[in-house]
Amino acid sequence: MLDLKVIVADDSPTSLMYMGILLKRIGFTVMPAENGFEVLKLLKVVEPDVVMLDIGMGTLDGITTLRYMKENRETSDLPVIMVSGDSSRQMIQKCRELGCTGYLTKPVRADALHAALKCVVSPGYARRHHLRAPVNKKVIVNHEGVEYELYAETLSEGGIYIRKKDPFPVGSDVEVTLPLNDESSVRLKGDVVHVKGFFGGEFKILPGMGIRFKEIASAEIKILRNHIEKLIAGDIAGSLEETIIRKSGDKKKSL
């Protein structure tokens, strides 16, 4: 398993939490910071794989923090991704000239975040060609005319990992029916490309199989991409809402 660390700096608690959840769900250990000063302090005690800086922080903004990092020999080689609501060519060019390796505009989409991280972190993560999402729901797998209801663990545009006590042999052709969030489903052809047997002892790994999708149409890719993004980020906005309960007689107010 990859152990990739990222420092994320933003003076908005909501934005910081949103980015933190996204990053954790795609496999990163997150170290949050509320401003550039906290980033520089963290860099003295930890070695992250990448740093993400919001440009508009009130206390030591992202531009100034980026400049300090690139002028310091100990941090000059660290990849830095800038994050901002400013999508102007001038701002992007300014950050590039200062040495940033990526630029994301808010609101940050899961697929854009994945693409930016592939360019700047370790080869192990870069080999993940597709954005992955945890699934943990049942799917229908048809193998040689027999249908099985099995639990899926992870899903990407390229394939799916499914738990099964006795995995089908590598090379087996299957058809996977994947339920979507709107109660519809999509049916995808695939073949088994790797299997895992049971591993016991102190670290228990359940058996299963990796299925690679094949003969997938562009419309199906679009459906998968939208579904994966919803799995990763679709519930975050609602979970960040705060409900303030007023005195009796007043209405509830959501922020």
Task: Give the sign of the dihedral formed by CA 47, CA 50, CA 61, CA 94.
Answer: positive
pTM, whole model, 2 decimals? Answer: 0.72
Q: If you average pLDDT over residues 158-187, what whole number do you get?
A: 92
Q: Name the residue with higher pLDDT: 41 or 118.
A: 41
Q: Name the residue with higher pLDDT: 254 or 108.
A: 108
Q: What percent of the chain has pLDDT over 90?
A: 56
Tell me if domain 4-125 and domain 133-236 are identical in fold: no
CATH 2.40.10.220 at 133-236, yes or no: yes
Residue 3 confidence (pLDDT): 72
DSSP secondary structure string, 160-212?
Answer: EEEE-SSPPPTT-EEEEEEE-TTS-EEEEEEEEEEEE--B-TTS-B--EEEEE
Q: If you average pLDDT over residues 208-225, what whole number do you get?
A: 91
Which one is the CATH code of 4-125: 3.20.20.70, 3.60.21.10, 3.40.190.290, 3.40.50.2300? 3.40.50.2300
Checking if the pLDDT of 119 tops 80, the result is no
Domain map of the chain by residue range?
Answer: 4-125, 133-236
Q: Which of 140-148's residues contact partners 24+ apart within 8 Å by CB, and which partners?
A: 140/176, 140/177, 141/174, 141/175, 141/176, 141/177, 141/211, 142/174, 142/175, 142/176, 142/177, 143/168, 143/172, 143/173, 143/174
Residue 187 confidence (pLDDT): 94
**Backbone phi, then psi, for 240, in 5-degree steps?**
-90, -5
Instruction: List pLDDT tens digits, range 47-102.
Output: 998 999 999 998 899 999 999 999 999 999 999 999 999 999 999 999 999 999 99
